[in-house]
Structure 1
Amino acid sequence: MVPSADSAGVFPWSSPLFAAFRYDGGQVLGTYVQFAYDPSSGTVRSVLGLAGNAPVLYVGSIQISGFAPARGASARGPTFQAEGYLATITAHDDPTVLLEVRTDVARTAAIELPAGAKNISVQTAPGSWPASSISYTVGEEQARFLLGVGSFSVNGIRVVAKMADSDLLTFKSVPPSAENRGEWLAVLDAIGAGRIVAELDLVATADGRWVQNVVQYRLGVSGWALHVEPGRASVQVDSLLPGGATVLLAFDRATMPFNAPTELQVRANAGEANRTESPLSLFFSSEPRSRGPSYSVLSFPDTVVALYLPSLAAVSIEVVSSRANGPPAGLQADSEIAMIAALAIVSAAAARMLRRKNE
């Protein structure tokens, strides 16, 4: 069961994958993300990434036309959410400074990039998801806006996102001062190409429950955790969209160890997924994947599994960390208990035989 408190107190710690927001008088304060929110207009200002050695100003402001805040904004664990008229703003306290704007009616979002934004470029792919993207740099850091259906227009550092009916605007960056920047960029590119459609970050807690940060990069895809414990996680993914795509499953190392002598087993609908060493081939291969699900473990400090699914319809996923040539973590304890019980039975039988012999 997942805890459901409404404050930063839901986490007595900050994990490397995500942490918790506190909302205080228009200030949204997290371990990895900080920004100001105007509850009268729904405007987001001064989005800072805090994961590096110094704060990085990624976004000057985001103002959504006709947002009309409908209810009080709130912070709940790793997410901050504000609802307006047929629109929702969601921020995630994670190292990538993830922001989402969802709308159910066509509207515009006026975005102002920071004055130091450079290398601003726009890409369009009408009819694809996402249909438009804007990439730029702030110093050495890289960031991107993605728009599922609509289009962008750019004038200097001022951007207008023309959102369509039922659209999703996403902001995501490479974590400030991150190692393995090439692989982070590959993940960002794969999301920008529509290859990665969802992400579930999962951390088991000491009380037998778990905390999570769940993201859908494409409308019409859903994912949720069924059970998480050290060494084992069960997840469900579902969508009516045709074709396959990749889902990211991220765990801290205490939840899902992956180093010698442990290994991972990944199953989709009870079938073993094939492992590939190259995440790039998983993300961008144009070859048909007729052999079923496949996965790669990314070279990040935590255990991040990129799992390709040929179909997203009603998929039950299980990830297990176990000792090489040994049983899964959960089964190992059961086996030890069974062995102790068996030894006890044998000892009792031997004692009875010895008593009969002496008699």
Structure 2
Amino acid sequence: MTATAPAPVPNTRPARTYAAYSRPLWRRVLLTRESAIIGLLVVVIAVSLAVVPNFDSPLTVTYLLRDIAPILLIALPMTLIIITEEIDLSVASIVGLSSVMTGILTQAGWPFALAAITAILVGAIAGVVNGFLVTVVGLPSLAVTIGTLALIRGIAVGLLGTTAVTEFPEFWSDLAKDNIPGTPIPGIMIPFVVLAIAFAILLHFTPFGRSLYAIGLNKDAASFSGIDVGRTKFWLFVMSGTISGFAGVYFTLLYNNARGDNATGLELQVIAAVLLGGVSIFGGRGALHGVIAGVLLIGVLGSALRLAGVTSDIINVITGVLLVLSVVSASLLAWLRRRRISAIGKKKERELAASSS
């Protein structure tokens, strides 16, 4: 007589899922801070086209994109740095030093291409200094980059003093200012798009990008999982310095002016755009498309308000309010999310206690 196999016991335990993937796809795509910023950008553009005189002019598009190009460029590595819960406040000073080096070397008779490459390398060296002090010496990035902000700016101003270099090869000046043929889009958008695609792939589709989020969420856990936290952060600061150096060369050619005080205050605009674009100042969260939308939102809003006759002081106030609201809303949403998860957990505990009694 053969024994019959016992009937399999059905698995009544709920499947384990990540909270972010427990919602429908459309909610994960549309109901995000990045989508909200993109939606707000579309609304601001639509309203500006309807009520602001000359906003639809091709010249407006050209000057808008030219002005925000340095912010767009520097925001790419800044996004990665802030995701790891660090910050780089020295980027604008590196832009100024790169501008000064470009001017001095060009004035000394160097070929412009060689002068520009040298200026970019100087930016990379500044990034190496920041990365070394943060990752090897172990100092906080906020303190380090406040110090190098002042140090690098002092070097830039000291090299040129109150003078300025205003003569550059016409070919390179025209190249920096020319548009893509047949469009109002400046040529600088071509290297930006190439860099943006490269950074997006690096951040969102590679193990290196996933390691950045892991570091931002918990650097100790990331280290225990095999991620070299120090080396990763070091190269992020080198990237930031290098791209800031490139932005300095572009800044110089765009305005035909190499001065030690070029781009003063630019770091605040970059950080404001990154945070407005949905990157958490506490690390571990953010997406590059949201940051680009944040830069465009600040640029479009400022351009529209200037065309409407609003003073720069009021524009700064409005930008500051947007930034504060973005940070407060992120904290509020995180608090509501924690409350919801806690309430769900307590409900399940009560149901489990009721079923076992």
Q: Report the TM-score when normalising by structure 2.
A: 0.30
Greater helix share, 1 or 2?
2
Greater strand share, 1 or 2?
1
Question: Using CA pairs below 8 Å that are at least 6 residues apart, which structure has the higher relative contact order?
Answer: 2
Q: Report the TM-score when normalising by structure 1.
A: 0.30
